[in-house]
Amino acid sequence: MGINDPTGTDWSDGEIDLIVADYFEMLRMERMGEPYVKAERNRALQELTRRSRGSIEFKHQNISAVLRELGMDWIFGYKPAANYQNALIVGIERYLDYRYDVLVAPALTTIQGAAESSPLFFESAPIVEATPKAPAALVRLVRKFDPAARDAKNRVLGKRGEERVFLSEQARLKTEARADLAKRVRWVSEEDGDGAGYDILSFDAVGKERLLEVKTTVGSQTTPFFLTENERLLSTERPKEFRLVRLYEFNRTPKAFELEPPLDHAVILQPSIYRASFKQ
């Protein structure tokens, strides 16, 4: 190993800043449908850092793993690899402090499957399992750029998700020879406003109501989300009808699963806000 060969050494802050910026530029291009060649960008980083092709690819996978924890989309082909250093977490934080806009979901008019009228395929819901304790730096980063709060504030993302489920329910009922019920499906949150405790009024094949609350993210299957007290109460009052529909990886081909009450059998519910009123 030559005197200037970095093989086997930790990545410097400067090298991390280079590869993080390169990753987010590729992510921007992928979101916008702009072509790029990963191999060419890898070679450019090799010239700048003197790191090997494999080392650079693995670091890109490390970045994908951090973005997954942040409830973000990541570059297709760079499968998340979670064995990363705190220095990389700090480097990603430096970038996001400067470019917070990349945390926001992309323009959803170009998303494949976002407004299709075909029925969604519903997967099995993820099983809650104990996970290794996350590094303190990652916990702090996720708290700082809270994915559940971002998704809750992203009205465009929420509306597109609700639209996808609305159209899916109509299409499903038609395939089940219930075009009569398909005509009765209502986008309640759009027509009547929020407050009902669910977004879509639909039906099963025999005409029983389905009260669907839709939660959408561009992140992974286990990205956290907010549930209002009104939604939680409805799930306990009408457990046979209520279903929480989770859409994820929404900026690719949207995937979905349903949660049925009691919700705390599938997810961990934690209070995140309190309502304060004055004593009479």
pLDDT mean by block of 10 residues, the chain; 280 residues: 67 97 95 93 96 96 96 94 92 95 64 63 85 88 94 91 95 97 97 94 98 96 94 97 96 92 91 78
Q: DSSP 3-state assignment of 256?
A: strand
* CA atoms of 88 and 10, how far apart (whole Å): 10
Within 10 A of 45 (CB to CB), how many other CB atoms are there? 21
Q: Side chain identity at 48, as an amino acid letter?
A: L
DSSP H/E element including 58: helix 53-69
* CA atoms of 247 and 167, how far apart (whole Å): 14
The pLDDT of residue 105 is 59
Q: DSSP 3-state assignment of 159?
A: helix
Global pTM value: 0.88
The pLDDT of residue 253 is 84
Domain positions in the chain are 13-103, 122-265
The pLDDT of residue 101 is 87
* CA atoms of 223 and 246, how far apart (whole Å): 10
Q: Are 255 and 219 in contact (CB under 8 A)?
A: no
* CA atoms of 42 and 222, how far apart (whole Å): 30
The pLDDT of residue 134 is 85
* CA atoms of 251 and 33, how far apart (whole Å): 12
Residue 195's Cα: distance from chain center in Å? 24
31, 39, 42, 64, 65 from 60: Cα distances, Å: 17, 12, 10, 6, 9
β-bridge pairing 200-203 and 209-216: antiparallel
